[in-house]
Amino acid sequence: MPRIDDYIKAVELGKKELKDKNPKRIAGLSGAEFEADSDGFAMLTLGFLNRNVSITWPDLELAFKDSGEELPIQEQVLLLHYLNGSKGSRVTGQWIAYQEVPDGRFYLDAFLRRAKIPMVQGFGNQPELLVKLATDAYGARPLDQGDISVVVQALPMVPVALILWKGDEEFPPEGTILFDRNISDILSAEDIAWLAGMIIYPLLGMAKGKG
């Protein structure tokens, strides 16, 4: 488990890499919106899990646009890595499993613990609730895979598919989380595992609130 110092250092490194880049170009590559004033200050607006995040330039402060609240540090790291990793790769429409991501097998246990196993345990016996909560929270859209599935637009170039199969007398419920093939060009396996957890854990919290 990374320590807070590791996250602070990762934020510093991410900002250092990003600050000398052209913000208008970064916006075009990442799918963010770009604004600038006559004094040379710029701001990107980036959609992240159905909320807008503002990234100011050149100080690179990341905050939720609706509340002005600073992003949690793990999410800052993820979004900085996304902006730095966005080099023009577009959504392909081809889904891949986590273990198909470069180094995905190395981080597979973490991915399973953070995302897939909690999703199946929390929603395997009530898959319709996953659809409802993901739609309410993230604006998820239906997908024709498994017994029930949705696509969450986590970031402009990063759709994530949540898929469940219902259990029966012989087999327990099962599920998987898939990613567009382009994610390998944008985020590392470690970042993808964190992102999957950031999608699933709020949904589990909402499900408990309904229990």
- d(C-alpha 176, C-alpha 149), whole Å: 10
- d(C-alpha 14, C-alpha 84), whole Å: 7
Look at phi and psi of residue 88 and say left if phi exceeds 0, alpha if psi is from -120 to 50, else beta. left
Q: Tell me the per-residue pLDDT of 56-89, one tens digit each, with 9 for 90 and over.
A: 998 999 999 999 999 999 999 999 999 999 999 9
Would you kindly state where each structural domain of the chain is located, as residue ranges? 4-85, 95-210
Q: What pLDDT, on the 0 to 100 scale, is given for residue 4?
A: 79
**Sign of the C-alpha dihedral computed for residues 191, 193, 194 and 199 taken in this order:** positive
Q: Is the pLDDT of residue 211 over 70?
A: no
Q: Tell me the per-residue pLDDT of 1-48, one tens digit each, with 9 for 90 and over.
A: 568 789 999 999 999 999 989 999 999 999 999 999 877 789 999 999
